[in-house]
């Protein structure tokens, strides 16, 4: 794929970005430095977090915890099909010529999308990256698949399943979302055991660590994994306490062959396994990604996903060789995330924010973060397919355009207020969109 965007494309991105915000009040209050906006629109990005689909028909490896089976819950306005910005996305990606989505126009659009997918075949994911100006996309997937090869796609695996070797029947009773989500983890652990040709978890915790946990992480690392991801906030609070190893051993041994641990017993084991997995990931040179956001799901425990709950783990001296990335920047807890940047091994991406929040809202968050710790902030989209007319490419486009716009708003204001020079603003934009991630993962960039 072409790594240098042709000038015409760069211009398209700037125009599309402007169109995205033209209708918002915030835009009128947040004038953009046009040269800075143009510079930011042309930076080839490294996207720290996505659920990009492979080109395999019916790809189901895009998330360990797919949310479509949850009891119905409302999505934020910008993620709904009636968001008029989606039309700008269809224009940018597919050359859609209309300003509405009436039935005949939609039929035409679907035909175009099918034609492009067919024409591009396995090259489709790269074709999308080319359109949105992304050089590398980190794919948070159970496994990679056709169309998702390095150097443009890098793998972030899932490890919550390794933390859940005992029955989760009692945990599932916690709420309607848990009832749907825990079985996915049980199946994924089964898949990991099968990969290792092990029928069931061994009898002791020590054997489980040496025969299952470490070999699974090593397998993932050998397969090109650059980070492991915990989606634990969908399943429990993020309060991974200082683990009691003896308690973890005895809980494991008592219930591994059957029976239901109490919540407190299971938590003791999970807390131990969380830190062990994080330590092993660090030893293998993989970062640890942790979902922290106000959702999703109608029973999701928002208070339980505050990244401050992770402070004891971040402070654990035995985990200082592990780099942590707070994925989605903590959402409404973004200020807590900003405070945690003071830990040497803590980073954050702002994925999903540029899909759910406006550019102006995200700009406010970025300005706070970038004033203090610009080297800890990573661009991310959380690109995911949300329906037949909204493939991952549409959400990747929306998030990428909005993120560039937000960065331009924040940095314009910082230059205007004499907080940074224009060259420094350009350097910060490059760090956030590209080089911070490249450094963290030791990625060779073009």
Residues making contact with Zn ion (CB under 5 A): 382
Among left, alpha and beta (phi > 0; psi -120 to 50; other), residue 398 is alpha
294 or 382: CB nearest Zn ion: 382
171 or 382: CB nearest Zn ion: 382
Phi and psi at residue 258, to the nearest 5°: 150, 170
**Shortest Cβ 293–Zn ion spacing (Å):** 9
73 or 121: CB nearest Zn ion: 73
Distance from first CA to last CA of the chain, Å, rounded?
A: 11
Cα(327)–Cα(350) distance, integer angstroms: 7
265 or 382: CB nearest Zn ion: 382
Let me know if 10 is exposed, middle or buried by CB neighbors in 10 A (0-12, 13-18, 19+): middle
139 or 429: CB nearest Zn ion: 139
**Shortest Cβ 63–Zn ion spacing (Å):** 7
Closest residue to Zn ion, Cβ-based? 382
**Shortest Cβ 212–Zn ion spacing (Å):** 25
**Shortest Cβ 390–Zn ion spacing (Å):** 15
**Shortest Cβ 112–Zn ion spacing (Å):** 27
59 or 382: CB nearest Zn ion: 382
43 or 233: CB nearest Zn ion: 233
**Shortest Cβ 289–Zn ion spacing (Å):** 9
**Shortest Cβ 414–Zn ion spacing (Å):** 29
Cα(252)–Cα(261) distance, integer angstroms: 9
**Shortest Cβ 382–Zn ion spacing (Å):** 4
135 or 382: CB nearest Zn ion: 382
Non-local CB neighbours of 402 within 8 Å, separated by 6+ positions: 17, 20, 354, 355, 358, 359, 362
**Shortest Cβ 51–Zn ion spacing (Å):** 6
230 or 314: CB nearest Zn ion: 230
């Amino acid at each position: 794929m072409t790594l240098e965007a042709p000038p015409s494309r760069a211009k398209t991105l700037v125009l599309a970005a402007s169109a995205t915000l033209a209708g918002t009040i915030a835009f009128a209050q947040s004038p953009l430095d046009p040269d800075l906006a143009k510079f930011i629109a042309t930076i080839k990005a490294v996207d720290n977090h996505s659920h990009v689909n492979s080109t395999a028909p019916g790809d189901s490896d895009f998330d360990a915890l797919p949310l479509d089976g949850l009891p119905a819950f409302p999505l934020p306005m910008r993620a709904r099909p009636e968001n008029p910005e989606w039309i700008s996305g269809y224009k940018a990606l597919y050359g859609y010529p209309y300003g509405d989505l009436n039935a005949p126009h939609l039929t035409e659009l679907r035909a175009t999308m099918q034609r492009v997918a067919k024409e591009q075949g396995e090259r489709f994911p790269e074709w999308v990256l080319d359109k949105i100006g992304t050089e590398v996309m980190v794919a948070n997937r159970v496994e990679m698949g056709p169309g998702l090869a390095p150097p443009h796609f890098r793998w972030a695996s899932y490890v919550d399943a390794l933390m859940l070797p005992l029955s989760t029947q009692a945990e599932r009773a916690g709420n309607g979302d848990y009832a749907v989500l825990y079985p996915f983890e049980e199946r994924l652990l089964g898949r990991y055991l099968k990969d290792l040709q092990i029928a069931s978890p061994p009898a002791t915790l020590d054997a489980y660590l040496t025969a299952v946990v470490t070999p699974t992480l090593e397998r993932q690392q050998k397969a090109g994994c650059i980070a492991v991801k915990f989606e634990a906030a969908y399943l429990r609070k993020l309060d991974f306490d200082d683990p009691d190893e003896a308690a973890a051993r005895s809980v494991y041994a008592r219930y591994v062959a059957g029976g239901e641990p109490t919540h407190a017993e299971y938590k003791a084991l999970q807390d131990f396994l969380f830190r062990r997995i994080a330590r092993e990931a660090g030893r293998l040179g993989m970062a640890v990604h942790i979902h922290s956001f106000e959702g999703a799901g109608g029973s999701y425990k928002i208070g339980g996903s505050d990244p401050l709950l992770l402070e004891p783990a971040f402070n654990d001296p035995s985990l200082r060789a592990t780099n942590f990335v707070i994925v989605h920047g903590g959402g409404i807890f973004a200020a807590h995330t900003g405070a945690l940047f003071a830990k040497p091994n803590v980073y954050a991406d702002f994925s999903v924010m540029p899909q759910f929040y406006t550019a102006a809202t995200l700009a406010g968050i970025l300005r706070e973060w970038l004033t203090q710790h610009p080297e800890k902030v990573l661009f991310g989209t959380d690109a995911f397919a949300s329906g037949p007319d909204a493939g991952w490419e549409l959400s990747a486009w929306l998030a990428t355009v909005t993120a560039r716009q937000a960065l331009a708003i924040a940095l314009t204001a910082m230059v205007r207020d004499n907080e940074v020079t224009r060259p420094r603003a350009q350097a910060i934009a490059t760090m956030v969109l590209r080089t911070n991630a490249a450094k963290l993962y030791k990625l060779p960039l073009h």
